Chains A and B, each alone.
Chain A
Amino acid sequence: MEPETTQERAKLNRELAQMLKGGVIMDVTTPEQARIAEEAGACAVMALERIPADIRAAGGVSRMSDPAMIRGIQDAVSIPVMAKCRIGHFAEAQILQAIEIDYIDESEVLSPADDVHHIDKGAFAVPFVCGARDLGEALRRIAEGASMIRTKGEPGTGDVIQAVSHMRLINGQIRHVSSLRDDELCEAAKELEVPVGLLRSVHETGKLPVVNFAAGGIATPADAALMMQLGAEGVFVGSGIFKSGDPAQRARAIVGAVSRFDDADYLAQVSVGLGEAMVGINRDEIELLIAERGA
């Protein structure tokens, strides 16, 4: 076989994200939870030691998980396994690549390791997903080599408002860029602080050049359907499942809701009798705004 080029690897990594579309990626902390998630229909799992709600409660510095813990989850399921590293912590990313993780989330949920630079993701063979609040952030992450984007939302809160706001902003900005004249793109790229080539691609296609999922605060099938109707191509559910009364049933319901997001009769069926949702925290009741980490 011919040696692979960086462009080929980047294409394969964007293509894996395409295969996850219409699916739910669930945070799990143990092999047992990973099996529950796979059984319930997760299209991938995010292996981490503590889910965002517990990270929030515990405080302190939050880091990449123990590789042995991640391996335990890789051995437990057949679906792709993702794991988080800190923003800018390329050594943590190297470790995750060494254990053959399927996707790295360079995540604001962990404590940032660099307040200026994100990881040079194009230097890695393994794919990255990154959070974004607006089109500028999304395109900067893609310029650095991210092959998938998700909204930041406000993780660990069970409050969907930030994910909604980020998704509306990104898609609104995309509509605006699509409407520009060609000779206005350079100035728009300057304002958004993004490479003009990437902005031109958004202008021509009317969408991001990579898959865009919703994340942060999604707790119910209705939340998931809301994000899909707002243009998300799939959802991440963090604390929402394993902090609820009946995780397996809630997980199944959210998987169904993402697949049939515009069928209200179906959504009414799967929303019945799910037990207690995670106890939410409102955005204005929290002290630490995770979404503001890394821009």
Chain B
Amino acid sequence: MTTAILALQGAFAEHGAMLDALGEPWFELRSAADADRGFDRLVLPGGESTVQGKLLREEGLLEPLGCRIRAGMPVLGTCAGLILLARSVVGRGPDGALAEGPGTFSTLGVAVKRNAYGRQLGSFHASAPLDGGAVVPMSFIRAPRIIDRAPDVRCLAEVDGWPVAVQQGSQIAVAFHPELDGDPSIHELFLGL
């Protein structure tokens, strides 16, 4: 099995280090040519979702990757990756007002609010049990919040009453950064899909 890590912008190297530690082969996916290489799974890393979404469109990656996600390829989205997968995104529009719009891949049945915890001073650490099991550390960096989810979207972990890790079929998405805290639980769950 091989995992592609979307490497347009953001903390993709950290996911690579985590997959190395778990013995999973991976490569950095940056272009349409990369998307033609063989891979079985996809990681969408943290970073700025506006930048990644724009580059996905410009590189012609949205359609081929979206098709594979809809066809059931396992995908892990962290923070910005969650925003890219979400069906609906609440954020500030060009006029400065809050507005709800469609997501980028729009494959995951959740609505997310960008920067829901405020600016960097609102970033925080927390920990919570994952799927009723072990407690995992969580770094929330200018994090999005999952404000709504479809009935078949399962909540894997919550903090302060909000879902922070969800699964729908072969898609796992988290509002925090499992690539930063040295705990492999989320990646193990993803590789087990």
B37 at the interface (CB under 8 A from A): no
B2 at the interface (CB under 8 A from A): no
Interface core residue of B8, B9, B160 (most chain A CB under 10 Å)? B9
Task: From known contacts A12-B124, A102-B120, A103-B120, infer whether A43 and B11 are also in contact, taking CB-CB under 8 Å.
Answer: no
Task: Give the contacting residue for A21; candidates B11, B50, B119; CB below 8 A.
Answer: B11
Task: Give the contacting residue for B142; candidates A16, A35, A101; CB below 8 A.
Answer: A16
Shortest distance between the CB of A2 and any CB in chain B (Å):
9
Cβ of B103: which chain A residues have Cβ within 8 Å of it?
none
A39 to B13, CA, bound (A): 25
Cβ of A103: which chain B residues have Cβ within 8 Å of it?
120
Shortest distance between the CB of B28 and any CB in chain A (Å):
10
Task: From known contacts A13-B120, A15-B180, A127-B120, infer whether A78 and B114 are also in contact, taking CB-CB under 8 Å.
Answer: yes
- Interface contact A126-B120, CB-CB below 8 Å: yes
- Interface contact B119-A102, CB-CB below 8 Å: yes
B96 at the interface (CB under 8 A from A): yes
Cβ of B124: which chain A residues have Cβ within 8 Å of it?
1, 4, 12
A75 at the interface (CB under 8 A from B): yes
A22 to B50, CA, bound (A): 13
- Interface contact A15-B92, CB-CB below 8 Å: no
- Interface contact B55-A255, CB-CB below 8 Å: yes
B12 at the interface (CB under 8 A from A): yes
A44 to B51, CA, bound (A): 10
Interface core residue of A16, A19, A23 (most chain B CB under 10 Å)? A19
Task: Give the contacting residue for A16; candidates B51, B91, B115, B123; CB below 8 A.
Answer: B123
Cβ of B70: which chain A residues have Cβ within 8 Å of it?
none
Interface core residue of B9, B120, B180 (most chain A CB under 10 Å)? B120
Kindly report which residue of chain B lies nearest to residue A42, judged by CB atoms.
B51
- Interface contact B139-A15, CB-CB below 8 Å: yes
Cβ of A35: which chain B residues have Cβ within 8 Å of it?
94
Cβ of A230: which chain B residues have Cβ within 8 Å of it?
none
A41 to B115, CA, bound (A): 17
- Interface contact A12-B139, CB-CB below 8 Å: yes
- Interface contact B30-A260, CB-CB below 8 Å: yes
Shortest distance between the CB of A93 and any CB in chain B (Å):
13
Task: From known contacts A1-B124, A43-B9, A78-B114, infer whether A15 and B51 are also in contact, taking CB-CB under 8 Å.
Answer: no
Interface string of B35-63 (1 = CB under 8 A from A): 00000000000111011001100100000
Kindly report which residue of chain A lies nearest to residue B45, judged by CB atoms.
A19
Shortest distance between the CB of A165 and any CB in chain B (Å):
26
Shortest distance between the CB of B54 and any CB in chain A (Å):
5
Task: Give the contacting residue for B141; candidates A12, A256, A260; CB below 8 A.
Answer: A12
CB contact list, A30-70 vs B, under 8 A: 35, 38-39, 41-44
Shortest distance between the CB of A25 and any CB in chain B (Å):
11
Shortest distance between the CB of A56 and any CB in chain B (Å):
29
A79 to B58, CA, bound (A): 19
Cβ of B153: which chain A residues have Cβ within 8 Å of it?
none
B118 at the interface (CB under 8 A from A): yes
Cβ of A126: which chain B residues have Cβ within 8 Å of it?
120-121
A126 to B51, CA, bound (A): 23
Cβ of A125: which chain B residues have Cβ within 8 Å of it?
121
A-B contact pairs, 8 of them (CB 8 A): A21-B10, A22-B12, A77-B92, A78-B114, A102-B120, A255-B51, A255-B54, A259-B8
- A1-B160, A12-B139 are known contacts; what are 13 more A-B pairs with Cβ within 8 Å? A12-B123, A13-B120, A15-B141, A19-B11, A43-B51, A75-B96, A78-B91, A81-B119, A100-B120, A101-B119, A126-B120, A255-B55, A259-B30
